[in-house]
Structure 1
Amino acid sequence: MLLRLLVARLGNREDAEDALQDMWLRIDQLADGPIAQPAAFLFRVAANLATDRRIAANRRGARDAGWLETQPDDADLPDPERTMVARSEWQAVEQAIGEMPERMATALRMFRLEERPQREIAGHLGISISGVEKLLQRAYRKIHDRLDSNDADLREARRHERERGADRAS
């Protein structure tokens, strides 16, 4: 009768059998003296145990669902080629900044990284706002040129790799 109660409350026989086993372990710990109504006591322990298991299962499901929502989809993960290209582009940007005149690099860092307004940058460098705008335009142009050159180098490397692969295949 206890197994039927647990199956009805938990929805399947496997969980009910596990709960019944847990119930006997719990009763062994609870029973210190004689029980006035043993059948009612057993049914109450079984019902409480089933309720505890349902609550725990609901919490576990909500926790797991919340965790899954925070995980990126496989489509969001970068593939190795995209990772390689991103690293190559980052290195190209760092090289371009490294080759810039000091004032140009300083203006770019203050504007893009420190998010300072152009007026503040102009005051720091002792130039006009128009001068800051021109420095930033030239800095962006240097970065774009470096990235274009980097893209051309990557395309050339891919072409050579394809040619080597075709030579190996033949």
Structure 2
Amino acid sequence: MAGTLDDAFMIHRPALLRYLRARGTSDEAEDLLQDLWLKVLSAGALEADDTLAYLYRMAHNLMLDRRRASMRRKSREEKYQDTIGEIHATPDAEQVLLARENLRAVDQVLASLGAKTDYIFRRHRVEGIAQREIAAELGVTLSAVEKHLQKAYRAVAAMHASFAMTQESEENRETDIERR
């Protein structure tokens, strides 16, 4: 079945949508189809021997890419949550002091990454704004927003690891002093 991709897309759009929905992407099927259409448009008047098979492969690859990105994002956010730790219901004065120091350090780390990364991180993590909305707001790609967030997550995790090592060495020093 020879022809151009854009013609085949328009003819088989409903079938492609059903294909995506049948594979568990019901909520994202329309978005994936839109992404597929943009890829088809960027390909121009590309001709293929079997345009329908080519379109299905493109749709399948987009679906896998989205799923992998979602899994990476989920893993990254879980790691971030692990680094922050649980908040206790009634912290004592020392915990409050440590939390404030930690927050100041996070603020400094985020500020050192640049205004855009700081802004994106706070909009997403503090205000709960979706990455897609932030991308539209700033006029950048979703990938750019994700890269800024990854940069911030890595920096905060490194800072937290350094902070934890400092705390541990202080505790060891105190224990050594008590033993003497």
TM-score by length of 1: 0.48
TM-score scaled by structure 2? 0.46
Structure having the larger proportion of residues in helix = 1
Higher relative contact order (CA 8 A, sep 6+): 2
